Structure 1
Amino acid sequence: MLDQTANSCGCPEAIYARELSHRANNALQGALAAMHLGRRGGAGLDYAVQRLEGVIALNRALGPDRAGVVETEKVIRQVCAAVVKAAGSEDVDVIVSADTIWAESHRVRPLLMVIAELVGNAISHAFPEGAGTVLVSLRDSGRSARLVVEDDGICGGWDRPGGQGRGIVDAFAAHLGGRVRRGITSGGSSRIVVILPTIALVAYCSEGRA
């Protein structure tokens, strides 16, 4: 059941659809601007194509849920690569480290949106010089799962005028039965931890729920 923060944003599916549309629109606007630059003789066409390819890949990865089992590290890598490509950022490295976890797609899908949101925000706001690294870690003990997204950039806070990223992350974490902890590293970078019940399929099987 969603908490008050989640309810203020709408149901999970509504948030999901809205966020997918928002991400696609932002990347498409950037791609269109690059195409106009290319028409004027700039080097924008390849950049535009890259962002469009990223939008397609991201929407494919985060799109309509499909029943079945997925290997979480694989789909997390796909989402992170698509976010970087859709953002048109070649100078930000996203490093993924995850346990080998087989999970039901409907459990992983909200987590992927959280990851896309956090990685996308880091790319957009943490690196004023354009270059940096984002670390994405997922560990699952069989009882609980722990997602950590940390960058080596500058943390400007999590509440921006007109921004909805914090509410989206909190809503999906609550939908999964988890909670979010936000902190700043000793170097002034952002570190966000999402703690939630296990997503591992074996845990559901052992409890007779798979």
Structure 2
Amino acid sequence: MVKRNERPFLERLPLAVDRPLTGYGVAILLSGIAWWARWALDPAFPQGFPYLTFFPAVVVSAFLFGRRAGLFAAILCGVLAWYFFIPPFHSFAINRGTSITLAFYVAVVAVDILLIDWMQRGNEQLRRERARSEKLVAHSQLLFSELQHRVSNNLQMVGAVLSLQRRGVTDPAARQALSDAAGKLQTIGRIQRQLYDTSGAPLAPDRLLPDLTRDLIETAGRPGIDWKVHVAPGLELPSGSAIPLALILAESIANAIEHGFAERAEGCITVTMHEMDAALTLSVADDGAGPPDGFDAATATSLGLRIARTLAEQLEGSFTLERGVRGGAVATLRIPLSDA
């Protein structure tokens, strides 16, 4: 919480709330200055302006130190003006003219003090609401982070359970299916906590892709594989596309490591993203072995490729995997951008 002396000046008003004597002392000082100014300027004023210099003293006292100091200044200034500047002078005599003059003064300073007090009460209420909102935001961010952490852990836990179940399965196809499923769940768990910031908004690609690529390659346990990420600045992911895109990136990197570098300890994976022709294009290229002759990603039965194609269709886009111009493989995801 922001300390009182660290707030903007207007939010610290009224001042010295725990030291009322300070406010009263300043009110006396301002009233004295107002009296002196009225006395010094008396020759220049036409008769009938007894309160002209006293109104600012009342307003400033109430503004700086609250309604009590303002009320004290109003009483003191009223008495000074009544005694020195309202005929008959140097007396507290009351006649019809004096009553009207005093009533006018009381009405004006009452309105001034009430308006200032209302403003300061409203300002204090706004400050309290803002402090309450800041606490709620901090609490929400904590809950969001905890939720992300728990979801990630739960997904990885399910993947670990599937891995344990695989040990009791003797059928090779079933063992492979369980192994693939376990790997996919653990991958989803790792990337889940990276997809959103604490506000719940998807991270920008230039922040998401480098962190995600590094995590996926480091998790694979292949220190000899280098990686590069090139993302055009200012790109924004379409709504709802962060998780599918991250999963397709994970599948593409896993495919490059598993097949492209199956017989090599070193290599490089390059991830690029750019916008062209009203579409967002993500490509994952490697300098590995590349797909075999006659390979067609559209008909491949690999679980990872089927997942990538399905996710691309959900985004109303397309996914391809083909041999690169200089060898290796290039996986490409193309997502059309909405005109809205």
TM tier, shorter chain? 0.5 to 0.7
Q: Structure 1 residues 185 and 142 mapped into 2: Cα distance closer, same or farther (>3 Å)?
A: closer
* Contact 2:156/2:189, CA 8 A, preserved across alignment: no
- Using the aligned pairs only, state the percent identity: 20
Counting helix residues as a fraction of each chain, which structure ranks higher?
2
- Alignment match of 1:89 (pick from 222, 234, 242): 222
1:56-135 aligned within 5 A = 57-61=190-194, 67-100=200-233, 101-103=235-237, 106-127=240-261, 128-135=263-270
Query: How far did 1:156 drift?
Result: 3.8
Query: Which protein, 1 or 2, shows the higher relative CO under an 8 Å CA cutoff with sep ≥ 6?
Result: 1
Q: Determine whether 1:166 maps to 2:305.
A: yes
- Paired amino acid for 2:230: S
- Alignment match of 2:275 (pick from 119, 140, 143): 140
TM normalised by structure 2 equals: 0.40
Number of matched pairs: 157
Q: Structure 1 residues 57 and 147 mapped into 2: Cα distance closer, same or farther (>3 Å)?
A: same
Query: How far did 1:107 drift?
Result: 1.8
Give RMSD over aligned pairs.
Answer: 3.6
In structure 2, distance between residues paired with 1:23 and 1:78: 24
Q: Which residue of 1 aligns with 2:287?
A: 152
In structure 1, distance between residues paired with 2:334 and 2:242: 14
In structure 2, distance between residues paired with 1:75 and 1:24: 23
* Contact 2:290/2:324, CA 8 A, preserved across alignment: no
Please identify runs of 4+ aligned residues in structure 1 that moved more than 2 A: 20-25, 54-63, 102-106, 156-159, 185-188
- Paired amino acid for 1:110: P
* Contact 1:58/1:86, CA 8 A, preserved across alignment: no
TM normalised by structure 1 equals: 0.62
Unmatched 5+ stretches in structure 2 = 1-151, 165-186
Unmatched 5+ stretches in structure 1 = 1-16, 30-53
Who wins on radius of gyration, i.e. which is larger?
2
- Alignment match of 1:194 (pick from 333, 336, 340): 333
Bigger mean CA offset, 187-196 vs 130-139: 187-196
Q: Structure 1 residues 62 and 168 mapped into 2: Cα distance closer, same or farther (>3 Å)?
A: farther
Query: How far did 1:185 drift?
Result: 2.2
In structure 2, distance between residues paired with 1:135 and 1:115: 11
